[in-house]
């Protein structure tokens, strides 16, 4: 192990003296030490085996960027290590290991519980692969030290320079170190690649999440039958409206709903909240009723009532629902930042809109380049967007993205 890792250990222990009493610190530590006992978190080293590839990602969103690659690596018979940071993706990774216990190992990236003396608490000791695929931005110093070892390959995918492009900032020296030590970089968009080339970096551009979304949409009927039985009732009411009169508000927040002030009465509306707390659902329902919409909350129970506005109280079905709607509004653009735009784009929504806070979203750029994307700031903007008809999107360009997947898959996992 690199000597710097041994120096990091006493530093973290010293730091813990000042924050050990914080609930967040204790919660994080309990999360990380699960690695000690879970079978799926035990290193391939204990079996005398070596992984073919290791993927590192922060949370659920970053995992979805490489999920198709992980699935295809498993299908090709490769041994795969998965390293993640956020509890948001823990369930999905554990379920994947349960399906493929012989070829999947996972590690919650240890920071609070880091120790060079225990394999389950030190990535450099735990990992056996000589190829690390880093998704976007978890630039931990340990990964940089790992990349400098002989015969190690560091790939960075979904790399973004949007902050540098939009705000005119220089790339940080630390981020630059990662880029210069990477064997291969695949940028999130053509604009990111262009900026990278200006800065002296080489690479390609591709967004792997498109393939994963495509696979989800193809299998949506099976998923609805399995987890969303109320969909059939929703569909029966939806078919009375032409596609261009169907609107879905995905990943919605209460502060998005002011846009519906001038909503035409002849639209069929589905609202899927980003969070499903009781307070948020209640607030949204009241807001919609104040707009004279007949609101029906739908979850797993059969719905017999007729209405023109459905409030979906069900997790995990938004991506698949987008395929039914000609107009998709993506929430978050009036908050911290817009949520996934790729989902409605790949699912087939002809016209997509969001609020103004999309400066960090490379997905906005992709949809804009395909002429599917609009920005709305006011209820008047929103109404004009709804009534302008479908944008003339480039379906051929989107299909070419899907066709390119096999080529880029080979670049990353060699199969």
**pLDDT value at position 25?**
83
> Cβ(143)–Cβ(154) under 8 Å?
yes
Encode burial over 205-234: b for 16+ CB neighbours within 10 A, e otherwise: bbbbbbbbbbebbeebeebbeeebebbebb
Q: Which CATH architecture has domain 3-159?
A: 3-Layer(aba) Sandwich (3.40)
- End-to-end Cα distance, the chain: 31
Secondary structure (DSSP) of 373-407: EEE--SHHHHHHHHHT------HHHHHHHHHTHHH
How much is the pLDDT for 399? 85
**Predicted local confidence at residue 306, as pLDDT:** 74
Taking the C-alpha atoms of residue 285 and residue 293, their distance in angstroms, rounded to an integer, is 9
Task: Name the DSSP letter for residue 331.
Answer: S
- Assigned fold of 224-398: Rossmann fold (3.40.50)
Q: What one-character DSSP code corresponds to residue 368?
A: H
In this predicted structure, what is the pLDDT of residue 398? 81
pLDDT of 53 reads: 98
Domain ranges of the chain: 3-159, 224-398
Residues (pLDDT < 50) of the chain are none
- Note the pLDDT of residue 163: 83
* Mean pLDDT computed over every residue of the chain: 90
For residues 414 and 394, give the distance between their C-alpha atoms in angstroms, rounded to a whole number: 30
**Identical topology for domains 3-159 and 224-398:** yes
Distances from the Cα of 130 to the Cαs of 41, 148, 379, in angstroms?
18, 11, 53
Is the sign of the CA dihedral 248, 251, 253, 254 positive or negative? positive
How far, in Å, CA of 392 to CA of 245, rounded? 17
User: What's the whole-model pTM score?
Assistant: 0.84
Q: Which of 232, 210, 212, 213 is nearest to 221 (CA)?
A: 232
């Amino acid at each position: 192990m690199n000597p710097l890792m041994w120096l990091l250990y006493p530093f973290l222990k010293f730091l813990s003296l000042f924050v050990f009493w914080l609930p967040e610190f204790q919660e994080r530590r309990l999360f990380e030490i699960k690695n000690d006992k879970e079978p799926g978190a035990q290193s391939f080293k204990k079996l005398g085996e070596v992984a073919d590839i290791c993927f590192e990602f922060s949370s659920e969103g970053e995992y979805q960027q490489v999920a198709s690659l992980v699935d295809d690596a498993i299908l090709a018979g490769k041994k795969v290590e998965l390293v993640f940071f956020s509890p948001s993706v823990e369930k999905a990774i554990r379920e994947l290991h349960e399906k493929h216990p012989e070829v999947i190992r996972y590690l919650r990236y240890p920071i609070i519980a880091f120790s060079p003396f225990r394999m389950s608490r030190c990535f450099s000791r735990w990992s056996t692969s000589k190829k690390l695929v880093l998704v976007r931005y978890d630039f931990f110093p340990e990964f940089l030290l790992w990349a400098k070892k002989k015969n190690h390959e560091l790939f960075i995918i979904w790399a973004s320079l949007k902050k540098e492009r939009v705000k005119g900032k220089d790339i940080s020296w630390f981020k630059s170190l990662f880029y210069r030590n990477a064997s291969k970089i695949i940028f999130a968009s053509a604009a990111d690649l262009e900026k990278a080339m200006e800065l002296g970096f080489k690479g390609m551009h591709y967004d792997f999440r498109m393939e994963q979304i495509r696979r989800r949409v193809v299998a949506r009927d099976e998923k609805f039958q399995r987890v969303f039985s109320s969909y059939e009732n929703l569909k029966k009411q939806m078919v009375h409206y032409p596609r261009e009169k169907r609107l879905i508000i995905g990943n919605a927040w209460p502060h998005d709903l002011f846009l519906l002030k001038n909503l035409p009465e002849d639209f069929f509306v589905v609202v899927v909240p980003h969070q499903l707390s009781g307070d948020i659902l209640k607030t949204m329902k009241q807001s919609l009723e104040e707009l004279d919409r007949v609101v029906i909350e739908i979850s797993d129970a059969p719905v017999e009532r007729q209405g023109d506005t459905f409030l979906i109280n069900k997790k995990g079905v938004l991506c698949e629902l987008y395929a039914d709607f000609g107009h998709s509004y993506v929430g978050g653009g009036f908050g911290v930042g817009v949520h996934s735009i790729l989902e409605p784009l790949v699912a087939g929504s002809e016209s997509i809109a969001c609020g103004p806070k999309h400066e960090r979203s490379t997905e906005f750029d992709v949809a804009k380049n395909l002429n599917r994307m609009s920005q709305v700031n006011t209820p008047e903007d929103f109404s004009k967007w709804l009534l302008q008809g479908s944008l003339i999107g480039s379906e051929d360009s989107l299909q070419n993205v899907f066709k390119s997947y096999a080529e880029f898959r080979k670049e990353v996992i060699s199969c």
